[in-house]
A and B are shown apart, each in its own frame.
Chain A
Amino acid sequence: MLNIQHLTKTYGEKKAVDDLSLYIAPGEIFGFIGHNGAGKTTTLKSVVGILRFDGGSITIDGSSIVDDPIACKAKVAYIPDNPDLYEFMSGMKYLNFIADVYGVSKADREARIGKYADVFALTDDLSQPIASYSHGMKQKLAIIAAWIHNPKLIIMDEPFVGLDPKAAHILKGMMREVCDNGGAIFFSTHVLEVAEKLCDKVAIIKAGRLIRCGTMDEVKGDDSLEEVFLELEGEEE
Chain B
Amino acid sequence: MVKVLLKKQLSEIFRTYLYDAKKNKKRSNLSIFLCFAFFIILMVGVLGGMFTVLSVLLCGPLLQAGVGWLYFAVMGLVAIFFGAFGSVFNTFSGLYLAKDNDLLLSMPIPVSVIMGSRLLGTYIMGLMYSGVISIPAVVVYLVVGKLSVSTIVCGLVYVFLISVFDLELSCVLGWVVAKISQKLKNKSFISVIVALAFFGLYYFINFKAGSLVQEFIANAYMYGMNVKGSVYPLYLFGRIGEGDWLATLVYVAAIGALFAVMWAVLSRSFIKIVTTKSDSRVKGAKASFEGKSASSALFSKELTRFTSNANYMLNCGLGILMLMFFAGAIVVKGDMVRSICLQLLGSEGDPAVVALCGVVCCVASMVYVVVPSISLEGRNLWILQVLPVSPWQVLSAKIKVQFLLTAVPSALCLVAMAFVVPSSIVTFVLGCVFTMLFMFVFALFGMFVGLKMPILNWTSEIIAIKQSIGVMIALLVGFVYSAAFVLLFILFGRNLGSIAYLCISIAVTAGVGAVLLSWLKGRGCRIFAEL
Interface residues of A (CB under 8 A from B): 48-50, 52, 70-71, 73-74, 76, 78, 80, 82, 84-86, 88-90, 92-93, 96-106, 109-110, 113, 126-129, 131-132
A97:B288 contact, CB within 8 angstroms: no
Contacts of A92 in B (CB 8 A): 285, 287-288
Contacts of B383 in A (CB 8 A): 85-86
Taking CB atoms and an 8 Å cut-off, the chain B residues in 282-306 that contact chain A are 282, 285-294, 296-298, 300-301, 304-305
B289:A73 contact, CB within 8 angstroms: no
Q: Encode B247-288 as 1/0 by CB contact (under 8 A) with A.
A: 000000000000000000000000000000100111001111
Contacts of B484 in A (CB 8 A): none
B386:A127 contact, CB within 8 angstroms: no
Bound complex: CA of A126 vs CA of B288, how far in Å? Answer: 11
Bound complex: CA of A89 vs CA of B298, how far in Å? Answer: 13
Q: Quick check: is B379 within 8 A (CB to CB) of the other chain?
A: yes
A74:B388 contact, CB within 8 angstroms: yes
B297:A100 contact, CB within 8 angstroms: yes
- The number of A-B residue pairs with CB atoms under 8 Å apart is 96
B280, chain A: closest CB distance, angstroms: 5
Q: Quick check: is B389 within 8 A (CB to CB) of the other chain?
A: yes
B297:A97 contact, CB within 8 angstroms: yes
Contacts of B388 in A (CB 8 A): 70-71, 73-74, 101-102
Q: How many residues of B contact A (CB 8 A)?
A: 36
Q: A88-B305, A132-B280 known; 18 other A-B pairs, CB under 8 Å?
A: A49-B385, A50-B385, A50-B386, A52-B530, A70-B388, A74-B388, A78-B386, A80-B382, A84-B379, A97-B297, A98-B387, A100-B292, A100-B293, A101-B389, A105-B291, A106-B290, A113-B289, A128-B281
A88:B309 contact, CB within 8 angstroms: yes
Interface residues of B (CB under 8 A from A): 277, 280-282, 285-294, 296-298, 300-301, 304-305, 308-309, 378-380, 382-383, 385-390, 529-530
Bound complex: CA of A100 vs CA of B293, how far in Å? Answer: 6
B387:A129 contact, CB within 8 angstroms: no
List 7 tightest A-B contacts by C-beta distance, closest first.
Answer: A100-B297, A127-B285, A73-B388, A74-B388, A84-B379, A88-B308, A110-B289
Bound complex: CA of A104 vs CA of B305, how far in Å? Answer: 23
A90:B530 contact, CB within 8 angstroms: no
**Interchain Cβ contacts under 8 Å between A and B, 18 examples:** A50-B386, A52-B530, A70-B388, A85-B380, A88-B305, A88-B308, A88-B309, A93-B304, A96-B291, A97-B301, A99-B291, A102-B294, A103-B294, A128-B281, A128-B282, A131-B280, A132-B277, A132-B281
- Closest B residue to A93 by beta carbon equals B304
Bound complex: CA of A207 vs CA of B38, how far in Å? Answer: 45
Cβ-neighbour of B289 out of A49, A76, A106 (below 8 A): A106
A101:B294 contact, CB within 8 angstroms: yes
Contacts of A128 in B (CB 8 A): 280-282
Bound complex: CA of A85 vs CA of B277, how far in Å? Answer: 18
Bound complex: CA of A101 vs CA of B297, how far in Å? Answer: 7
A44, chain B: closest CB distance, angstroms: 10
- Closest A residue to B307 by beta carbon equals A88
Contacts of B293 in A (CB 8 A): 100, 103
A127:B282 contact, CB within 8 angstroms: yes
- Closest A residue to B390 by beta carbon equals A70
B280:A86 contact, CB within 8 angstroms: no
- Closest B residue to A50 by beta carbon equals B385
Contacts of A48 in B (CB 8 A): 385-386
A86:B301 contact, CB within 8 angstroms: yes
B386:A76 contact, CB within 8 angstroms: yes
A86:B291 contact, CB within 8 angstroms: no
A156, chain B: closest CB distance, angstroms: 12
Contacts of B301 in A (CB 8 A): 86, 89, 97
Contacts of B389 in A (CB 8 A): 70, 101
B285:A50 contact, CB within 8 angstroms: no
Bound complex: CA of A89 vs CA of B385, how far in Å? Answer: 18
- Closest B residue to A48 by beta carbon equals B386
B386:A73 contact, CB within 8 angstroms: yes
A101:B387 contact, CB within 8 angstroms: yes
A96:B386 contact, CB within 8 angstroms: no
A90:B282 contact, CB within 8 angstroms: yes
B431, chain A: closest CB distance, angstroms: 37
Bound complex: CA of A153 vs CA of B300, how far in Å? Answer: 28
- Closest B residue to A80 by beta carbon equals B382
Known: A50-B386, A86-B380. A126 touches B308 (CB 8 A): no
Bound complex: CA of A127 vs CA of B289, how far in Å? Answer: 12
Bound complex: CA of A100 vs CA of B294, how far in Å? Answer: 5
Bound complex: CA of A148 vs CA of B300, how far in Å? Answer: 19
Bound complex: CA of A161 vs CA of B140, how far in Å? Answer: 64
B291:A109 contact, CB within 8 angstroms: yes
A104:B291 contact, CB within 8 angstroms: yes
Contacts of B290 in A (CB 8 A): 96, 106
Contacts of A98 in B (CB 8 A): 387
Known: A88-B309, A100-B297, A101-B298. A73 touches B291 (CB 8 A): no
- Closest B residue to A145 by beta carbon equals B383
Contacts of B296 in A (CB 8 A): 100
A50:B382 contact, CB within 8 angstroms: yes
A84:B297 contact, CB within 8 angstroms: no
Contacts of B287 in A (CB 8 A): 92, 113, 126-127
Q: Which residue, of A82, A89, A105, has the highest number of chain B Cβ atoms within 10 A?
A: A89
A42, chain B: closest CB distance, angstroms: 14
Bound complex: CA of A90 vs CA of B291, how far in Å? Answer: 16
Contacts of B309 in A (CB 8 A): 88
A117, chain B: closest CB distance, angstroms: 9
Bound complex: CA of A52 vs CA of B293, how far in Å? Answer: 28
B291:A100 contact, CB within 8 angstroms: yes
A96:B288 contact, CB within 8 angstroms: yes
B291:A84 contact, CB within 8 angstroms: no
B129, chain A: closest CB distance, angstroms: 29
B285:A90 contact, CB within 8 angstroms: yes
Known: A100-B292, A101-B297. A88 touches B285 (CB 8 A): no
A148, chain B: closest CB distance, angstroms: 11
B297:A49 contact, CB within 8 angstroms: no
Cβ-neighbour of B304 out of A73, A89, A113 (below 8 A): A89
B429, chain A: closest CB distance, angstroms: 37
Bound complex: CA of A132 vs CA of B279, how far in Å? Answer: 9
Bound complex: CA of A98 vs CA of B388, how far in Å? Answer: 10
Bound complex: CA of A120 vs CA of B457, how far in Å? Answer: 31
Bound complex: CA of A191 vs CA of B290, how far in Å? Answer: 39
A49:B386 contact, CB within 8 angstroms: yes
B286, chain A: closest CB distance, angstroms: 8
B245, chain A: closest CB distance, angstroms: 53
A84:B382 contact, CB within 8 angstroms: yes
Bound complex: CA of A84 vs CA of B296, how far in Å? Answer: 22
